[in-house]
Amino acid sequence: MAQRGGALIKKWGRSSAASTAVSTADAIRALVVPTAPGDCFSTGVCSDGNKYGIAEGLIYSMPCRSKGDGDYEVRAAAPPPQHRVGAHPGLSPPPPPRPIPP
């Protein structure tokens, strides 16, 4: 454990605290800078009333957009892809995620 900080600095060029700060700044930037047309960012939001069929009552990462006003909207669900990279065409899709028990 004592070597973890040094390993992170060597790999990423910054400490875990700095990485957390960069991630926090990126999340804030996504909300206060308008999302480019056709682009989106992923963030954890409450799944209640979502367009993706995710069970309600979860915090789930979803594609979002922002007008730059500090708020976000969940991006409309896209049609399912016809082909997934690495998927075998004869296999059924994976089951939906199960909610975490309280």
This prediction's pTM: 0.58
Q: What is the pLDDT of residues 17-44, one digit of tens each?
A: 777 888 888 999 999 999 998 889 999 9
Confidence at residue 16, expressed as pLDDT on a 0 to 100 scale: 73
Angstrom CA distances, 71 to 11, 27, 82, stand at: 34, 12, 32
Nearest to 60 by CA among 100, 19, 8, 7: 100
Q: Which domains does the chain have, with CATH numbers?
A: 4-74 (3.90.110.10)
